[in-house]
Structure 1
């Protein structure tokens, strides 16, 4: 599987107005394949886990953008039920992509994935992700409308995301030291445009004018690729005769729906994003 370039609008910029009426990418019902947790076929570890690392992050960028569009419209007043549903679903989709990206065995992650990030920059950090900046506050409960009864499903998704993020971080980097923390003389977590560009470049993301329909179509393509991957290789592939489950039934807890629900939540997020007409925001 080969990672593709992802085309994204600049953070805070509106979508490009379509020259023609938007088509319905991402709105049709799709038949989702079943997948096994433990894959039966041996895989090319370098190729597969590099693809998963890039695709999982790219899908997260698109989901963050959709969330940011909703939050931009609701800094003080609560979103409607449909928008709250979309926020919760996008957060679960992001959690699923944390799980999907982190199926890489720990030794492979340190020898290959983490090493490549360090080559990009010794202090390479997820804090540099441009599209996460507008949505950071919701994960910290900073919007005045959070915490009400209408936000119960959203609160559950946020809690599930926190548990998933911490579980995966503890598995991949058990000493808890990120590249930023390991880098000698790392100057805190200040973020510059240069660092955001480095982050985008690493994840094959190009900033240019993009229409909402085009963005949904890119998400739709990646969801179809993830479906093919999981159906063929399982969530935890066979790497040299061994499986490396990060989350097991025993450790799942609130993460349990994510183990078998990766495709369902991504498909639902894609269709919700397509129907919300986010191209009308920021205009």
Structure 2
């Protein structure tokens, strides 16, 4: 796998509908020594494949979405392991607390997405998405719809749900703040985000493909270590951006520093999970 691909293209496992059931599988492949070596390389790349100096608005938008996608998948995996593994309550609580860390990281990724201006969104981001695929919508993110369903299941458990309830609600509010900050006078983005957080059925087929392809997502079987390594690289790229480039006037420097701390905490949690996980299956099941 070429380093440029590792640095810029995001590799995520495909979801597969299982025949005769209502379940969806995330098709992971088991880690091998070769996988460990190959995917670990991404952490040591010196090149920055996000051209933030040249295309600041789009690159920040792309990078913030990559962070979000990885954190969604990591949270989904932990939620599923809680259901599949026969473990004691403390272990389940530890997994759910990890989900809370990933959701906090997702909130930080949304804060990073707001490091573009209203003018940049109106003149660069939105026109590009509409030209790429007319009607492009946040509701086409299949992984987020799956995450919502998994969170809904865990919230029914008072003991486990307590750990993620506040974190999930905060991410919804961060999502809405993103719309209000970037499009203060127009309802279109806000309507999309509210729809994405509703209980309506997600878009299927071509819409999912369009969403993935715009954000340079390639669906293929990957080991779970791929999530941790790709997240680590992108958190490092985000930190370089925040720490070395001028921030827009509307961005609070303290908030920018804090979002990096939260993202780094999520990346560290992903690595801790990788070293302690005892997954019972290479495929992660998702109830629908």
| Shorter-normalised TM range | 0.7 to 0.9
In 1, Cα distance between equivalents of 2:69 and 2:226:
14
Gap runs ≥5 in structure 2: 16-24, 44-51, 193-199, 283-288
Partner of 1:178, secondary structure, is: helix
In 2, Cα distance between equivalents of 1:222 and 1:231:
14
Q: Compute the displacement of 1:145 (Å).
A: 3.9
Q: 1:265 aligns with which of 259, 262, 279?
A: 262
Q: 2:213 aligns with which of 198, 201, 204?
A: 201
In 2, Cα distance between equivalents of 1:216 and 1:210:
11
Q: Against the structure 1 CA distance between its residues 231 and 190, is the aligned structure 2 distance closer, same or farther, given a 3 Å change threshold?
A: closer
In 2, Cα distance between equivalents of 1:153 and 1:49:
34
Q: 1:5 aligns with which of 6, 9, 20?
A: 9
1:103 aligns with 2:115: yes
In 1, Cα distance between equivalents of 2:147 and 2:263:
18
Q: Compute the displacement of 1:20 (Å).
A: 1.2
* Equivalent residues of 1:49, 1:104 under 8 A apart: yes
1:244 aligns with 2:259: no
Alignment partner, residue 177 of structure 2:
167
Q: 1:20 aligns with which of 9, 33, 56?
A: 33
* Equivalent residues of 1:25, 1:216 under 8 A apart: no
In 2, Cα distance between equivalents of 1:7 and 1:90:
18
Gap runs ≥5 in structure 1: 29-42, 182-187, 238-242, 250-255
In 2, Cα distance between equivalents of 1:54 and 1:109:
12
Q: Against the structure 1 CA distance between its residues 281 and 164, is the aligned structure 2 distance closer, same or farther, given a 3 Å change threshold?
A: farther
Q: 2:128 aligns with which of 116, 121, 144?
A: 116
Q: Compute the displacement of 1:244 (Å).
A: 2.9
Alignment partner, residue 187 of structure 2:
176
Instruction: Give 1 or 2: higher helix fraction.
Output: 2
Across the two proteins, how many residue pairs are aligned to each other?
243
In 2, Cα distance between equivalents of 1:60 and 1:281:
26
* Equivalent residues of 1:125, 1:180 under 8 A apart: no
* Equivalent residues of 1:98, 1:164 under 8 A apart: yes
RMSD, matched Cα: 3.2
In 1, Cα distance between equivalents of 2:245 and 2:204:
38
In 1, Cα distance between equivalents of 2:149 and 2:32:
34
1:274 aligns with 2:271: yes
In 2, Cα distance between equivalents of 1:109 and 1:281:
43
* Equivalent residues of 2:142, 2:208 under 8 A apart: yes
* Equivalent residues of 1:127, 1:189 under 8 A apart: no
Q: Against the structure 1 CA distance between its residues 279 and 266, is the aligned structure 2 distance closer, same or farther, given a 3 Å change threshold?
A: farther
Q: 1:72 aligns with which of 77, 80, 95?
A: 80
Aligned positions of 1:123-134 closer than 5 A: 123-134=135-146
Q: Against the structure 1 CA distance between its residues 189 and 121, is the aligned structure 2 distance closer, same or farther, given a 3 Å change threshold?
A: farther
User: Per-residue CA shift, 1:14-45, capped at 9, x if unaligned?
Assistant: 3222331746959x9xxxxxxxxxxxxxx85x
Alignment partner, residue 197 of structure 2:
none
